[in-house]
Chains A and B, each alone.
Chain A
Amino acid sequence: MAYSEKVVDHYNNPRNVGSFSKETAHVGTGLVGAPECGDVMKLQIKVNPGTGLIEDAKFKTFGCGSAIASSSLATEWLKGKTIEDAAKIKNTDIVNELKLPPVKIHCSVLAEDAIKAALADYRTKHGARAEAAVK
């Protein structure tokens, strides 16, 4: 199957590969998998507590090229966004940007799931405290 240029680009030069150390504060982690193919994807966000913006994002994906490209793109998009805006990223946006063929749509779904899981993890860990601070 031929990959689009953008997929190949992200696959050859993945952005933001890695992970934050366990001690890093204000990090939300999402770990998801695709049971159909056994791919696993970890995506992390680091939020600036002052501005509430996602200042950094990292991922590690063990899977096919489309899964790597989807998560690489996701981390690029996440940076600079608020938690609320980050939650609006849809798998269809990733499909359009990377021109993923139908058989690879599940890779973009995986990336969206990873974003959601990371945001949920962040909210669980910091949400209550952040809201308390606002009030």
Chain B
Amino acid sequence: MNYFEVFGLPRRLGIDVAELQRQFYELSRRYHPDFHAGAPPDEQASALDASARLNAAYRTLRDPVARIEYLVRLEEGRETKEGAAVKAQAPPELLEEMFEIQEALAEAKAGGLDEGTRATLRAQRERLRERLREADAKLAGPLSAAWDAADDSGRPKLRELLKQGLATRAYLKTVIEDLGQALGEEEGTGEHVAHHRH
């Protein structure tokens, strides 16, 4: 049972989040261990499984970007973020730009960060955050709507666009985090896309 099916929803990106939350609470009560305390062990166990799946499904579907990542994975029939048959390619200019920012950041770090440099890096980070917000808005707004409106012939193209959007936001997010780290002002950990370097 996939996350959409958990809520009895069609596989669409447009989701009424208030309605999703209402259903989440209702289903949570239904699967809550307290209601199955007197039930046979196998029934208790399956209620526990259902409850865990419900939580995971809700966390994923309530967030528009996590929802898109999940849908793309479902469409490609894979469980994890990695192993995509067709790798999403961010626009080459973006890659070039991210590389240049990283290179400049490495040089700034090597030179020691004086107040002037720190102010420059902060301003740069603010601009990148704005672009990340724009990228997310585009994913959650027009691209999600276009996916839902598309028929089977239009979907491969849109899936590519969604993946490009996800790739773009991943690069922006990484460089924003790296800037924050250099400034000693780490980003709060986002809930949906955790891609920390090991």
Across the interface, do B103 and A60 meet the contact criterion of CB distance under 8 Å? Answer: yes
Chain A residues within 8 Å of B170, by CB: 35-38
- Size of the B side of the interface (Cβ < 8 Å), in residues, is 26
Chain B residues within 8 Å of A64, by CB: 197-198
Across the interface, do B198 and A1 meet the contact criterion of CB distance under 8 Å? Answer: yes
Q: Does residue A83 face the partner (Cβ distance < 8 Å to B)?
A: no
**Which residue in A1, A32, A35, A40 is a CB contact (below 8 Å) of B166?**
A35
Q: Does residue A126 face the partner (Cβ distance < 8 Å to B)?
A: no
Instruction: Give the complex CA separation of A62 and B103 in angstroms.
Output: 8
Q: Does residue B96 face the partner (Cβ distance < 8 Å to A)?
A: yes
Nearest CB on B from A112, distance (A): 12
Chain A residues within 8 Å of B198, by CB: 1, 64-66, 104
Across the interface, do B81 and A39 meet the contact criterion of CB distance under 8 Å? Answer: no
Instruction: Give the complex CA separation of A1 and B163 in angstroms.
Output: 29
Instruction: Give the complex CA separation of A133 and B174 in angstroms.
Output: 45
**Which residue in B90, B96, B102 is a CB contact (below 8 Å) of A62?**
B102
Instruction: Identify which of A31, A33, A38, A42 gathers the most chain B CB atoms within 10 Å of its CB.
Output: A38
Chain B residues within 8 Å of A63, by CB: 197
Q: Does residue A106 face the partner (Cβ distance < 8 Å to B)?
A: yes
Instruction: Give the complex CA separation of A38 and B195 in angstroms.
Output: 8
Across the interface, do A35 and B167 meet the contact criterion of CB distance under 8 Å? Answer: yes
CB-nearest residue of chain B to A104? B198
Chain B residues within 8 Å of A31, by CB: 92, 95-96, 99
Nearest CB on B from A116, distance (A): 13
Main secondary structure of the interface of B (DSSP, over half): helix
Instruction: Identify which of A31, A40, A60, A104 gathers the most chain B CB atoms within 10 Å of its CB.
Output: A40
- A21-59 CB mask vs B (1 if < 8 Å, else 0) is 000000000011101111110100000000000000000
Nearest CB on B from A61, distance (A): 9
Given contacts A62-B106, A64-B197, A64-B198, contact A36 B81 (CB under 8 A): yes
Q: Does residue B31 face the partner (Cβ distance < 8 Å to A)?
A: no
Q: Does residue B67 face the partner (Cβ distance < 8 Å to A)?
A: no
Q: Does residue B136 face the partner (Cβ distance < 8 Å to A)?
A: no
Across the interface, do B106 and A33 meet the contact criterion of CB distance under 8 Å? Answer: no
CB-nearest residue of chain B to A60? B103
**B-binding residues in A (CB < 8 A):** 1, 31-33, 35-40, 42, 60, 62-66, 103-104, 106
Starting from the known contacts A32-B95, A37-B195, 14 additional A-B residue pairs (CB-CB under 8 Å) come to A31-B95, A31-B99, A33-B90, A35-B87, A35-B89, A35-B171, A38-B170, A39-B174, A39-B197, A40-B99, A62-B102, A63-B197, A64-B198, A65-B198
**5 A-B contacts, Cβ less than 8 Å apart?**
A33-B90, A35-B89, A35-B166, A40-B99, A60-B99
Closest 10 CB pairs of A and B: A38-B174, A35-B167, A62-B102, A64-B197, A37-B195, A40-B99, A33-B95, A38-B171, A38-B170, A35-B170
